[in-house]
């Protein structure tokens, strides 16, 4: 038992507490407590009326028991009785019990409120304060109803004691927080604001918390507080350390009040009144200056109080974001703290710099500390500090330092604390995407993420990398190659298998030319992981397999065997079993056409905000994520790649699941209402339906039958074909996606897919200006003989919108069918009004004969046999030309694969040469083509030879290809 | 401030003050979680941590941890000094305060806190003024308890009731 027992000791209470402390076990404690509860209960129920002291003592014991963590279900009434005692000591314990233990028992609340009402009107300041403390501690709605109108009166009355005013102010604040609708300042507003001028520092300190809260909610009504706050602050910061007597804390004048004043000012924009603003800037400068002065005391309390004000001042400077000079000074000051020996200061400096990084005035100044921050990430011993360092790196990241920061974050992830890994992963993923200039770096980064912290890579992250790879054709080959390599690791994370399965299923063909990653090798690699994976991953892999059957017919038998085995086709999991059964059936009964259509490459994802960013925001709470220049990020993100919430697996891969109409309708429905109830076997006729409307018999292939062309007389302003139209066309011989055309006003993006003799082209028209394009029309025409019977371009699924808003993009879909071989390109004419002026341009659509190539794998023997068969002179076309581009092997291979043919290895006796084989699919016939390209590195020359079963094709291909190398 | 907790190195809760309405169950859960988190931290670590959507500021004095949960826009350093000022008040009142003083005079610890902080905000930061208010109350108490002294039984004296 302690020697000191101030006031009146309740001996019985002290003995009870000692007993509890002496209990050796939890059971003994409970036993002792139950004994005490029984005793108290009997006293309360007993016939003998208890005197006030006993009541107080027992109520206090109950309180103690409750605070130990036990439930108390009686004694409330006795406590309420104590409230009406006129002995201060009993009243005080009664109020304490109520404050700690009150529940919403309405009967009791009425009695409590009654007692409070009596004390409030007692004019005894100590009683009034007790009552106000009780209201502030309980703060219930019932109390707000009873007292919310009374307390403002007490607060501003001239004769109220200072201590009562202080309690009244904070009591009102608590009620306002619970029931803002009941606390109406109305006529009192101005007098409450003027409490900032009160002589008593304690009153100002208490009142400012109330005023700040009210200002946040009703800034206009309280805006007069700004000038009052500035002058109060100015008086404090310019006072000597002794002026404020007991309100000086370790040589710092009124630190709590100063912080509160600076906080209040953050509810408002910078003062408009020049004099007030000048005075405030002076205050802020003084605070920054004082931070540089030698400390007046070595005590940590002194520096804490001083720096508390400094940090609050910096918050205000950041809030104003209008004084470059102050912002940079703040940043320098924080920079000093980054290496301070006090961990607390390092932590706060990192945190505060995060917000400075988002100001254009101080972003660069923050960036100069990058090395210190990276060092903090590596060496700080406290995870909270490392977390702040990671946040700051994220906030200071921009194009100039993204690679460095992402690399550091990745290496930190290897040893990072489990608690922050997921967030780190999200941040790395966002930065990598946002600042990716070259997308192979992006792919590498994300795959590294999965390797290092696979468990923490959420679905959003791996969905996103797939969305980006699908939307960016320039990275697809690289992605396929990289995942293929990553999957070689003996133990790789399941997320890697998911990404790998998806990407190889879509783009495995891009690396299939290399025998080390031939279709079967790819399949075996994926399948070696299958048994270690969870059900959803297995389901994804099954979809990848069926895609393989389409991409590589030679894997069909192997894969069918896998699908057919019991562990698949009779799998206990319904989803796996269904996929196995359906894919097996699909692969055995559907024609290659149907298979190709059903298993078409994924269309690009719609452009949306990164789902990862959304996740990070959700994780951190709204407003808590300081994403550097968020707007910027959104714009760039939108431009570079699409995104969406749908998981690519469900949307894409199950497209082959013919029994579910929704996702596949989008892929298959060449015309809008393609009925998807059709079983896979009838899908052939579906295609016939689609094309029967506009077959060869429908020569009006142009996109002009909806009338908008007729309103713009074609003769009025004949568009001249762009001079670079042929160049643009050549750019797309070996690739299907990219930017077709761009000028000051308009950007035209293109994405196209071809299967057999069918093709589909997506055109994206982007308005680069901020002004809308009116009367926007597009026309596709096929000049000369192309128009009538060579190439048929079906009507766009939908005519384009006649208006393109500033910054907006619209999309148009063209369906193409190759009837017979052709050499001209269709023309695209675009007309629109931009600010009154008619714009008219024509360009060639990059539809070339090689788009209809199907690759043909063959052995050396077969190749030369066919080569000899195509020996008529007109079947061969040959050209010798100078290299226009790099003669790098990989580049050449990529181009030849992009051409659509199969690149054959080990055929030509000279390994330097390239040979390719393919069949061009037209509606009427198939044209076999063999190609041989012989580079001469020394002379920087090529010899290109083509032999095709149709002579016009040889000529055209030779012409096209000579421009490519 | 949303709440303040005082607990020992063994994790025993010595004082709890809640400035936001929460159910008893929730309070217990928060206490358990936070005590565990803070006790797991090493001495040289920083005094602030992010916890749920709040900021926690804590400091250890001898065997006791003082731990405050504040909101996002609140100032960590000044909260640290709120803790210190409270410790000073206890120290001055009890005369070199120790954990036992707070255990045996828990009600006093609450009264002092109510004079200093109300509704989670500082009400009176002057040490003198706060102590004067408490001492005044004690005086009132002593006056009144004089007459209450008489009916105490001998049993009560040795603490058996």
User: Residue B160: is its pLDDT beyond 60?
Assistant: no
pLDDT at A538: 93
- Chain centroid offset of residue A710 CA: 46
Cα A410 from Cα A425, distance rounded (Å): 8
Say if CB A182 and CB A144 are below 8 A apart: yes
pLDDT at A620: 61
List the single range of A116-125, A136-145, A863-872 with lowest mean pLDDT. Answer: A863-872
Long-range residue pairs from A364-367, CB within 8 A, at least 24 positions apart, any chain = A365/A327, A365/A328, A365/A331, A365/A332, A366/A331, A366/A392, A366/A395, A366/A396, A367/A396, A367/A398, A367/A400, A367/A401
Dihedral over alpha carbons B107, B111, B113, B118 (to 10 degrees): 130
Q: Which one of A5, A8, A617 makes the best mutation probe of the B interface by having the most chain B beta carbons within 10 Å?
A: A8
Chain A hits for B3, Cβ within 8 Å: none
Q: For tokens 């000022």, what's the residue?
A: B85
Please state, for a pLDDT cut of 70, what percent of chain A lies above it.
85
Q: B-contacting residues of A 239-298, CB under 8 Å? A: 246-247, 249, 254-257, 259, 263, 266
Say if CB A188 and CB B136 are below 8 A apart: no
Calculate mean pLDDT across residues A64-78. Answer: 88
Calculate mean pLDDT across residues A790-816. Answer: 72
DSSP string across A288-328: HHHHHSPPS-SSHHHHHHHHHHHHHHHHHHHHH---HHHHH
pLDDT at A106: 63
Calculate mean pLDDT across residues A725-751. Answer: 82
Would you call A882 an interface residue with chain B, using a CB distance cutoff of 8 Å? no
Would you call A2 an interface residue with chain B, using a CB distance cutoff of 8 Å? yes
Question: Rg of chain A's alpha carbons, rounded to an integer?
Answer: 39
Name the residue among B73, B104, B119 with its Cβ closest to that of A170: B119
Cα A346 from Cα A336, distance rounded (Å): 9
**Confidence label for A787 from pLDDT (cuts 50, 70 and 90):** low
Give the H or E element holding residue A683: helix A683-692
Calculate mean pLDDT across residues A469-489. Answer: 90
* B123 with A167: Cβ contact below 8 A: yes
Compute the residue count for chain B.
161
Burial of A546 (0-12, 13-18, 19+ CB in 10 A): buried
- Chain centroid offset of residue B64 CA: 10
Cα A70 from Cα A36, distance rounded (Å): 13
Q: Is A927 helix (H, G, I), strand (E, B) or coil?
A: strand
Q: For tokens 């931290």, what's the residue?
A: B41
* A246 with B84: Cβ contact below 8 A: no
Cα A82 from Cα A59, distance rounded (Å): 9
Cα B117 from Cα B3, distance rounded (Å): 11
pLDDT at A669: 28
- What is the 8-class DSSP label of residue A266? T
pLDDT at A645: 39
User: Residue A785: is its pLDDT beyond 70?
Assistant: no
Please state, for a pLDDT cut of 90, what percent of chain A lies above it.
34
Q: Which residues, listed in sequence order, are joined to residue A920 by a DSSP beta bridge?
A: A853, A927
Chain A hits for B127, Cβ within 8 Å: 246
Q: How many CB pairs under 8 A join A and B?
A: 213
Find the residue in A nearest to B93 (Cα): A6
Q: A-contacting residues of B 35-54, CB under 8 Å? A: 41-42, 44-50, 53
Say if CB B47 and CB A344 are below 8 A apart: yes
pLDDT at A652: 39
Would you call A508 an interface residue with chain B, using a CB distance cutoff of 8 Å? no
> Buried b / exposed e across B55-86, counting CB within 10 Å, b at 16+?
bbbbbebeebbbbbbbeeebbbbbbbbbbbbb
Calculate mean pLDDT across residues A186-214. Answer: 93
**Confidence label for A710 from pLDDT (cuts 50, 70 and 90):** very low
List the single range of A34-43, A152-161, B141-150 with lowest mean pLDDT. Answer: B141-150
* B159 with A64: Cβ contact below 8 A: no
User: Residue B145: is its pLDDT beyond 80?
Assistant: no
Phi and psi based region of residue A832 (left: phi greater than 0; alpha: psi -120 to 50; beta: remaining): beta
Proportion of chain A in helix, strand, coil states, percent, rounded to 5? 55, 10, 30
Say if CB A729 and CB A848 are below 8 A apart: yes
Would you call B10 an interface residue with chain A, using a CB distance cutoff of 8 Å? no
Chain B hits for A139, Cβ within 8 Å: 21, 119
pLDDT digits (tens, 9 = 90+) for A560-577: 999 988 888 888 888 999
User: Residue A780: is its pLDDT beyond 70?
Assistant: yes
pLDDT digits (tens, 9 = 90+) for A423-451: 888 899 889 988 887 888 988 999 888 88
Cα A10 from Cα A12, distance rounded (Å): 6
Would you call B71 an interface residue with chain A, using a CB distance cutoff of 8 Å? no
Cα A375 from Cα A383, distance rounded (Å): 14
pLDDT digits (tens, 9 = 90+) for A350-382: 999 999 998 888 889 999 999 999 999 888 888
User: Residue A658: is its pLDDT beyond 70?
Assistant: no
pLDDT digits (tens, 9 = 90+) for B34-89: 999 999 998 888 999 988 889 999 999 999 999 999 999 999 999 999 999 999 99
How many alpha carbons fall within 13 Å on the CB side of residue B31? Answer: 23
Give the H or E element holding residue B16: strand B13-18
pLDDT digits (tens, 9 = 90+) for A248-295: 999 999 999 999 999 999 999 999 999 999 999 999 999 999 999 999
pLDDT at A176: 93
Cα A517 from Cα A521, distance rounded (Å): 6
Cα A866 from Cα A931, distance rounded (Å): 11
Torsion A231-A232-A234-A235 (CA) sign: positive
**Residue B101, number of CB atoms within 10 A of its CB:** 22
Structure tokens at A539: 């389901």
Chain B hits for A380, Cβ within 8 Å: none
Higher pLDDT, A219 or A760: A219
Q: For tokens 């128009």, what's the residue?
A: A787
Say if CB B97 and CB B91 are below 8 A apart: yes
User: Residue A39: is its pLDDT beyond 60?
Assistant: yes
Higher pLDDT, A939 or A494: A494
Rounded to 5°, the CA angle A632-A634-A636 comes to 70
Cα A754 from Cα A852, distance rounded (Å): 7
Chain A hits for B53, Cβ within 8 Å: 621, 624
Higher pLDDT, A752 or A685: A752
Find the residue in A nearest to B25 (Cα): A69
pLDDT at A162: 92
Long-range residue pairs from A530-535, CB within 8 A, at least 24 positions apart, any chain = A532/A494, A533/A494, A533/A497, A534/A494, A535/A573, A535/A575, A535/A576
Cα A640 from Cα A436, distance rounded (Å): 9
User: Residue A183: is its pLDDT beyond 60?
Assistant: yes
Q: Which one of A313, A344, A347, A618 makes the best mutation probe of the B interface by having the most chain B beta carbons within 10 Å?
A: A344
pLDDT at A241: 67
**Residue A534, number of CB atoms within 10 A of its CB:** 10
The set of residues, in sequence order, having a beta carbon less than 8 Å from that of A325 and lying 6+ positions away, is: none
Q: Where are the alpha helices (DSSP H) in A23-140?
A: 26-45, 52-67, 76-83, 88-101, 106-120, 125-138
CA dist A353 → A190, A255, A285, A405 (Å): 37, 22, 18, 16
Mapping DSSP onto H, E and C, the string for A497-531 reads: HHHHHHHHHHHHHHHCCCHHHCHHHHHHHHHHHHC
- State chain A's mean pLDDT as an integer: 82
Q: Which residues, listed in sequence order, are joined to residue A249 by a DSSP beta bridge?
A: A252
**Confidence label for A770 from pLDDT (cuts 50, 70 and 90):** confident
Q: Which one of B51, B63, B91, B121 makes the best mutation probe of the A interface by having the most chain A beta carbons within 10 Å?
A: B121
- Chain centroid offset of residue B58 CA: 12
User: Residue A912: is its pLDDT beyond 60?
Assistant: yes
ipTM score for this prediction: 0.90
User: Residue A654: is its pLDDT beyond 60?
Assistant: no
**Confidence label for A310 from pLDDT (cuts 50, 70 and 90):** very high
Distance from CA of A28 to the nearest CA of B (A): 17
* B45 with A167: Cβ contact below 8 A: no
Cα A802 from Cα A767, distance rounded (Å): 13
Name the residue among A5, A209, A255 with its Cβ closest to that of B78: A255
Name the residue among A4, A8, A129 with its Cβ closest to that of B94: A4
How many alpha carbons fall within 13 Å on the CB side of residue A375? Answer: 7
Tell whether A53 is in a known binding site.
Answer: yes
Cα A664 from Cα A456, distance rounded (Å): 32
Calculate mean pLDDT across residues A28-47. Answer: 90
């Amino acid at each position: 038992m302690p020697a000191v027992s101030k006031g009146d000791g309740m001996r019985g209470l002290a003995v009870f507490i000692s007993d509890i402390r002496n209990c050796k076990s939890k059971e003994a404690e409970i036993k002792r407590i139950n004994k005490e509860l029984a005793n108290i209960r009997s006293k309360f129920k007993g016939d003998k009326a208890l005197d006030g002291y006993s009541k107080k003592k027992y109520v206090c014991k109950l309180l103690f028991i409750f605070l130990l963590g036990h439930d108390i279900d009686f004694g409330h009434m006795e406590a309420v009785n104590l409230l009406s005692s006129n002995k201060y000591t009993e009243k005080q314990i009664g109020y304490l019990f109520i404050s700690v233990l009150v529940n919403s028992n309405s009967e009791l609340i009425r009695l409590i409120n009654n007692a409070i009402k009596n004390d409030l009107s007692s004019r005894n300041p100590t009683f009034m304060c007790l009552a106000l403390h009780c209201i502030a501690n309980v703060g219930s709605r019932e109390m707000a109803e009873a007292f919310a109108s009374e307390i403002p009166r007490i607060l501003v009355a001239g004769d109220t004691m200072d201590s009562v005013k202080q309690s009244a102010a904070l009591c009102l604040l608590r009620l306002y927080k619970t029931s803002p609708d009941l606390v109406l300042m109305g006529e009192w507003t101005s007098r409450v604001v003027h409490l900032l001028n009160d002589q008593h520092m304690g009153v100002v300190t208490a009142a400012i918390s109330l005023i700040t809260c009210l200002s946040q909610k009703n800034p206009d009504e309280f805006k007069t507080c700004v000038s009052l706050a500035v002058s109060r602050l100015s008086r404090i910061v310019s006072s000597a350390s002794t002026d404020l007597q007991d309100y000086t804390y370790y040589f710092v004048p009124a630190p709590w009040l100063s912080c509160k004043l600076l906080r209040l000012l953050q509810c408002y924009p910078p003062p408009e009144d020049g004099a007030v603003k000048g005075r405030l800037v002076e205050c802020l400068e003084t605070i920054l200056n004082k931070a540089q002065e030698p400390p007046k005391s070595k005590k940590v309390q002194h520096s804490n109080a001083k720096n508390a004000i400094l940090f609050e001042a910096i918050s205000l400077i950041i809030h104003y974001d209008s004084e470059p000079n102050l912002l940079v000074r703040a940043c320098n000051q924080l920079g000093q703290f980054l290496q301070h020996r006090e961990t607390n200061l390092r932590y706060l400096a990192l945190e505060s710099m995060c917000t400075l990084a988002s100001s254009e005035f101080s972003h660069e100044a923050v960036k100069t500390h990058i090395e210190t921050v990276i060092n903090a990430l590596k060496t700080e011993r406290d995870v909270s500090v490392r977390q702040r360092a990671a946040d700051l790196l994220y906030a200071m990241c921009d194009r100039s330092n993204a690679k460095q920061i992402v690399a550091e974050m990745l290496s930190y992830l290897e040893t990072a604390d489990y608690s922050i890994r997921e967030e780190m992963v999200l941040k790395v993923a966002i930065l990598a995407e946002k600042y990716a200039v070259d997308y192979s770096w992006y792919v590498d980064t994300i795959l590294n993420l999965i390797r290092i912290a696979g468990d923490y890579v959420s679905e959003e992250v791996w969905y996103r990398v797939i969305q980006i790879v699908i939307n960016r054709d320039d990275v697809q080959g690289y992605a396929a190659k990289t995942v293929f390599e990553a999957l070689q690791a003996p133990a790789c994370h399941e997320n890697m298998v998911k990404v790998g399965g998806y990407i190889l299923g879509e783009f495995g063909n891009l690396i299939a030319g290399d025998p080390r990653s031939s279709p079967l090798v790819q399949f075996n690699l994926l399948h070696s992981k299958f048994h270690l994976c969870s059900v959803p991953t297995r389901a994804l892999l099954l979809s990848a397999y069926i895609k393989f059957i389409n991409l590589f017919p030679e894997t069909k038998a192997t894969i069918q065997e896998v699908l057919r085995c019991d562990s698949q086709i009779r799998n206990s999991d319904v989803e796996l079993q269904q996929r196995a059964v359906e894919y097996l059936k699909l692969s055995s009964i559907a024609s290659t056409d149907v298979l190709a259509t059903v298993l078409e490459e994924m269309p690009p994802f719609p452009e949306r905000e990164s789902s990862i960013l959304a996740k990070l925001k959700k994780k951190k709470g709204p407003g808590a994520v300081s994403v550097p220049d968020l707007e910027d990020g959104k714009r760039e993100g939108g431009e570079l790649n699409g995104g969406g919430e749908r998981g690519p697996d469900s949307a894409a891969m199950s497209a082959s699941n013919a029994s579910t109409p929704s996702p596949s309708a989008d892929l298959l429905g060449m015309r809008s209402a393609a009925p998807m109830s059709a079983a896979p076997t009838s899908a052939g006729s579906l295609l016939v339906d689609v094309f029967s409307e506009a077959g060869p018999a429908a020569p009006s292939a142009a996109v002009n039958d909806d009338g908008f062309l007729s309103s713009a007389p074609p003769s009025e302003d004949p568009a001249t074909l762009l001079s670079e139209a042929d160049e643009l066309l050549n750019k797309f011989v070996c690739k299907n996606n990219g930017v077709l055309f761009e000028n000051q006003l308009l950007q035209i993006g293109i994405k196209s897919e071809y299967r057999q003799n069918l093709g589909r082209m997506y055109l994206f028209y982007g308005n680069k200006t901020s002004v809308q394009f009116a009367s926007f029309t597009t026309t596709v025409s096929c000049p000369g003989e192309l128009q009538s019977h060579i190439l048929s371009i079906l009507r766009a699924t939908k005519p384009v919108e006649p208006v393109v808003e500033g910054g907006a993009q619209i999309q148009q879909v063209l369906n193409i069918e190759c009837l017979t071989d052709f050499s001209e390109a269709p023309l695209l004419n675009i007309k629109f009004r931009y600010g009154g002026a008619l714009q008219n341009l024509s360009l060639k659509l990059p539809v070339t004969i090689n788009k209809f190539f199907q690759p043909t794998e063959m052995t050396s023997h077969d190749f030369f046999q066919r080569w000899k068969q195509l020996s008529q002179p007109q079947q061969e076309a040959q050209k010798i030309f100078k290299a226009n581009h790099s003669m790098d092997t990989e580049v050449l291979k990529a181009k030849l694969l992009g051409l659509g043919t199969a690149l054959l290895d080990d055929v030509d006796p000279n390994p330097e040469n390239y040979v390719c084989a393919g069949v061009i699919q037209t509606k009427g016939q198939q044209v076999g083509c063999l190609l041989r390209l012989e580079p001469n590195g020394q002379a920087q020359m090529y010899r290109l030879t083509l032999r095709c079963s149709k002579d016009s094709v040889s000529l055209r291909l030779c012409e096209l290809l000579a421009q490519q190398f | 401030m949303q709440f303040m907790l005082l607990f020992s190195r063994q994790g025993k809760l010595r004082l709890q003050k809640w400035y936001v309405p929460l159910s008893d169950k929730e309070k217990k859960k928060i206490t358990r979680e936070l005590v565990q988190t803070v006790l797991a931290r090493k001495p040289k670590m920083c005094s602030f941590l992010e916890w749920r959507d709040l900021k926690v500021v804590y400091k250890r004095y001898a065997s006791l941890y003082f731990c405050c949960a504040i909101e996002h826009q609140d100032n960590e350093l000044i909260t640290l000094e709120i803790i210190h000022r409270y410790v000073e008040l206890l120290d001055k009142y009890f005369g070199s305060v120790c954990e036992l003083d707070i255990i045996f005079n828990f009600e006093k610890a609450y009264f002092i806190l109510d004079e200093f902080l109300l509704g989670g905000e500082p009400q009176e930061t002057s040490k003198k003024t706060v102590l004067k208010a408490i001492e005044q109350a004690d005086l009132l108490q002593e006056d009144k308890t004089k007459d209450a002294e008489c009916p105490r039984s001998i049993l009560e004296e040795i603490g058996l009731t």
